[in-house]
Structure 1
């Protein structure tokens, strides 16, 4: 197992800079007063495909040599990685095949197709996703870019926290959602060298809390088909992301679906940005654990903004 390094992150940043956006950092006086913390929101929902995953996907796609790239790329994803890999593949002019759960938000399926990605649907479980993907890859021969358990992807995701630290002038904590652990791993990778005094906190839904239980047990515990409104956080940790979580994450906090919805509404209203339920989990955990963050400078990564506007979680 190859563990990506800080130098890999720097190389990834050079590689992807022509193709991604340096997203802004926003703040809200109201949210600061509400939490007692000074919060800096890194708005990765402003990336062209609407999510941070464009960083890792672009690093993987543009790191392929011409012979490898000829057969394109392939992956499985609940949505944002599929969209971002399709986007990066289109930029390079190569094919992209993705396996997505049939229950994935229509907005995310539409984005994949807009970037010429070809979708094969599967049942909403890790087992079905991986079995279906094995068939698709065998047929296409595309280079497998795992949504998170891939050194190229983790190095790319690490560029986000590098920018955040440059834009916020020092932080006590960085809080990001955790599903499979790609963003958290990239954050750990970068901050362990760039700002070792800054603690990395992972935020997870109560109804898909396998990372929390893994963290407490000291080994990976995987759920096959959890259900939560945070559809981007349904997958389990793998060996590479577990390495970073077990060695560098300070704490994992969880929040219920109602708490996630409340946080999502607060951010929509007071930060005035569109973000998906998965991106609201960090804010939900900050609100739930005020003593942990009061008086601190806190970076929050808003990981994505791809939502079905006709199916917002507070609309019956």
Structure 2
């Protein structure tokens, strides 16, 4: 295995310079109630207040901003059923180009309308019979578009890492960083930034119990697949870690814990009632891990990334029991 990682702290810092003034520098929240329940001093990075409502804008904009003038003139393609779709659509609009997004035909109307609202063209496919990666690549090639994948791209990973960079700049010395894990881009970027700034930092990922592909892969020392997860944390419902992201995470991530859907619900309720924040299930996983005491030997000063808040009122009410 090469000693050189595909993304470095300098890459994350460069991404931060490119994103500055376009993306939001999201707030870091403190709560004495959360500290007491978690048994630690907790610093919450609120990416639910990022543009498009999630951290995904960071990576999408950074990757798009690195395209050549010729590539931007032709346009951008992406495949996603949610936050990455909206992020690429908005990034394209900010950079004066067009976006074509491949989305499942059963994508909730609100997500499709939000993507189209940023000016993107949506092309649909059947998620149960189609391979979105192959279809996305074919779409990009057919139309001559630059493809920005959700996480398997060094510029996307570097962009996602800027959330952790900001968190540490504001919170200072941290003992641990807790990050949600889906395809692995956010935690790969966060671990790169975090351990680059604080070499002794402990980086812990959180997955839904039904979709612990990264935990199993780290235990096995290679990428393994799990059945397609059935969980309310749909943004983390990956069945196999990304190849690029896993090459980083196997070296920088110290452990993975899992949370149940019921624990995620309780974390969403806590965020709403006590922190006054609307958080989507995937974003609430890290809070769930703290509240349910799923992180073993939790140290004194902890940073937590809440990754997003994109959920409509009907779904929010349904998840929390009406």
Normalised to the residue count of structure 2, the TM-score between the two structures is 0.93
Write the distance in 2 (CA, Å) between the matches of 1:214 and 1:69: 36
Q: Does structure 2 conserve the Cα–Cα contact (< 8 Å) formed by 1:99 and 1:121?
A: yes
Q: Contact 2:137/2:147 (CA < 8 Å) preserved in 1?
A: no
1:274 aligns with 2:278: yes
Structure 1 Cα separation of the partners of residues 159 and 143 of structure 2: 25
* SS of the residue 1:40 aligns to: strand
Distance in 2 (alpha carbons) for counterparts of 1:41 and 1:103: 33
Question: Are the aligned partners of 1:124 and 1:225 in contact in 2 as well (CA < 8 Å)?
Answer: no
Gaps in structure 1 of 5+ consecutive residues: none
Asked if 1:81 corresponds to 2:64, the answer is no
1:189-208 alignment runs, 5 A limit: 189-208=192-211
Aligned runs of 1:216-227 on 2, under 5 Å? 216-223=219-226, 225-227=228-230
- Report whether the alignment pairs 1:94 with 2:97: yes
Matches within 5 A, 1:31-70: 31-70=34-73
Distance 1:37 1:221, change over 3 A: same
SS of aligned partner of 1:70 = helix
Aligned CA distance change for structure 1 residues 127 and 189 (closer, same or farther; 3 Å): farther
2:165 maps to 1:159: no
Q: Structure 1 residues 73 and 223 mapped into 2: Cα distance closer, same or farther (>3 Å)?
A: farther
Take 1:260 and 1:100, find their aligned partners in 2: how far apart are those partners?
26
Superposition TM-score, scaled by structure 1 size: 0.94
**Cα offset for 1:223?**
3.7
8 A contact 1:25–1:167 mirrored in 2: yes
For residues 165-224 of structure 1, the C-alpha deviation after alignment (integer angstroms, 9 at most, x for no partner) is 011121111111101001000011112211111111100001111111111111111246
Unpaired segments ≥5 residues, structure 2: none
User: In structure 1, what is the equivalent of residue 29 of structure 2?
Assistant: 26
Indicate how the Cα distance of structure 1 residues 224 and 89 shifts in structure 2: closer, same or farther if over 3 A, else same: farther
Distance 1:127 1:289, change over 3 A: farther
| 1:294 Cα deviation from its structure 2 partner | 4.7
Pick aligned residue for 1:305 from 309, 312, 315: 309
Q: What is the root-mean-square deviation in Å for CA atoms of aligned residues?
A: 1.9
Of 149, 164, 186, the residue aligned with 1:183 is 186
Residue 260 of structure 1 is aligned with which of 256, 261, 264? Answer: 264
Number of residue pairs matched by the alignment: 316
